[in-house]
Amino acid sequence: MPDFLWWRDGVIYQIYPRSFADSNGNGLGDLPGITAHLDYLSDLGIDAIWLSPFYPTPDADFGYDISDHTDVDLRFGTMGDFDNLLAEAHKRNIRVVLDLVLNHTSDQHPWFLESRASRKNPKSDWYIWQDHIPNNWQSVFGGRAWTYAPEREQYFYHMFLTEQPDLNWHNPEVRQAQLDVIRFWLERGVDGFRLDVFNLYFKDAMLRNNPKKLGLRPFDQQRHIYDADRPEMIALLNELRSMMDSYTERYAVGETFIASPEKAAWYSGPGKLHAAFNFDFTFRRYNPSQFLESIQRWDQFASGEIWPNYVLSNHDIVRAASRYAKGEDDGRAKVVLAMLLTLRGTPFLYYGEEIGMRDISLKRSEILDPPGQRYWPLYKGRDACRSPMQWDDSPFAGFSTVKPWLPVHPNYATRNVAAQLEQPDSILHFTRRLISLRKEYPALQHGAITAMTPKPRKVLAYLRKTHEQTIAVVLNFSGSKESLDSAIQNSSWNLLLSSSTTVGNARSPLEPHEARILVEET
């Protein structure tokens, strides 16, 4: 193992392309927009960007319904723009991870158009077709997972929208076509993939009914044992991994559908994926024992050659700052960011998280996301966490010159990159310092982790240790001043970073919602 491995020790930054930067004034972000901000990302110190889909799409699910996996949607740029982005990112030592959606396609994908046209055509078996609805399977976006197609007088299966039919991975031609997509991008020079809902690729060959359980929506009233996590997946991961390993330092992280740490760990490691997401943090309250429990549970499964990862925000969930912070105050957001960036495991940052972007609030008539339209007001969809990046205080936050596809958060006049660059105590500067500490101290990258208090009530404190270095991370989750843990009081420490501007030295009491990082004197 090399001393520094970008996907293990570095920080991966997720970009939702349509909301990052609009270079051509169509209200949607695009690839040249990202290229224009690579210096910003390089200054932030991240090691890789993961790009949510930018492929041709009818946009039923905002890019997660792909109609051509090996091209760029004209609204986002051209293949030339992609090659340029890749080259410019590599010049800055930033790796590029693509989001591959291989479980399903758009219903406008030529494969589906052909498959749907008749029961007898070369692609008739590329999707999952049945004469009658064969089982109780539900779509996670609502309703039955089976839709009737009059052309074939048959039903096809879709875990997501009707416009996102699932591919039949049991068909060897489908498998080959999908592996060809992966190879296409590897040959183009991309560094890795985020595999959308990879553990759904295979469904039970006998299409058996899922057993029932208690739950709110029909989808949650089933145990998903026949429509997810089928054993065939392992042989495929094996094949995929050998393909990835025949190139240098490539990486695949799977989006685990209905993730538990056990499951995420099961899919990761040699011969499988480099990593699979564990989203447990996103369900936790702002409470040190909640997070510690989550970390320890994950660590129990992600040990040895299985490398953990941590996520607080992404394009499917409420942003961490909206979940944890109070109003515009960033104290709590800094505490959780400090945690994310100092744990043993790859941190994933979501665009705008470094400036503490909050979710926007939308009226029912403004909702674009299909599950939001369907379940409002019980569930308002995912638009709120996808609002345009806030670059400066000019109209539309410097994101675009025209009205963007989703509204800019009204706080953009004060919460934006340009303003925060001018404020030494901004969350942006704090994030940059955290990332640079992670770069500087190998203990923060791959050092072992030990909690300092087993059941913390207010302060989460842990050590990160290699043979040569010990770092202490002390996070005050409370609104009161707290004393430092006695173990810390008793050794000699140097202060590396504090989120508070009033901290005197390494040993002073903790300020409310302070994140402090110390290094042991050698």
Residues that bind ligand NOJ (CB under 6 A): 61, 64, 101, 160, 196-197, 255, 315-316
Give the nearer residue to ligand NOJ in terms of CB position, either 48 or 473.
Answer: 48
Residue 42, judged by CB atoms within 10 A of its CB (0-12, 13-18, 19+), counts as: middle
Q: ∠ CA 422-423-429 to the nearest 5 degrees?
A: 100
The residue (of 16 and 493) whose beta carbon lies closer to ligand NOJ is 16
CB atoms within 10 A of CB 264: 27
Q: Judged by CB, which is closer to ligand NOJ: 32, or 254?
A: 254
Minimum separation from the CB atom of position 293 to ligand NOJ (A): 25
Q: How far is the CB of 279 from ligand NOJ (least distance, A)?
A: 10
What residues contact 219, with CB distance under 8 A and at least 6 apart? 138, 139, 140, 142
Omega before 347 within 30 of 0, i.e. cis: no
Nearer to ligand NOJ, 49 or 506 (CB): 49
User: Alpha-carbon distance 437 to 347, whole Å?
Assistant: 14
Which residue, 316 or 392, has its beta carbon nearer to ligand NOJ?
316
- Shortest distance, position 197 Cβ to ligand NOJ, whole Å: 5
CB of 127 or CB of 477, closer to ligand NOJ: 127
Structure tokens at 332: 């709590």
Q: Which is nearer to ligand NOJ, 46 or 197 (CB)?
A: 197
**Distance between CA atoms of 137 and 141, rounded to whole angstroms?**
12
- Least distance (Å) between residue 52 CB and ligand NOJ: 8
Task: Kindly report the length of the chain.
Answer: 522
- Measure the CA–CA gap between 128 and 116, rounded to whole angstroms: 10
| Burial (CB count <10 Å: 0-12, 13-18, 19+), residue 117 | middle
How would DSSP label each residue in 279-320?
-GGGG--S-HHHHHHHHHHHHHHS-TTPPPEEES--TTS--H
Q: How far apart are CA 417 and CA 43, in angstroms?
A: 12
Element (H, E) at 83: helix 79-91
**Minimum distance between the CB of residue 60 and ligand NOJ, rounded to whole angstroms?**
10
Which residues are catalytically annotated? 196, 255
Is 423 in a helix, a strand, or coil? coil
Report in angstroms how near the CB of residue 443 gets to ligand NOJ at its nearest: 33
Q: How far is the CB of 358 from ligand NOJ (least distance, A)?
A: 20
Residue listed under structure tokens 């940052």? 349
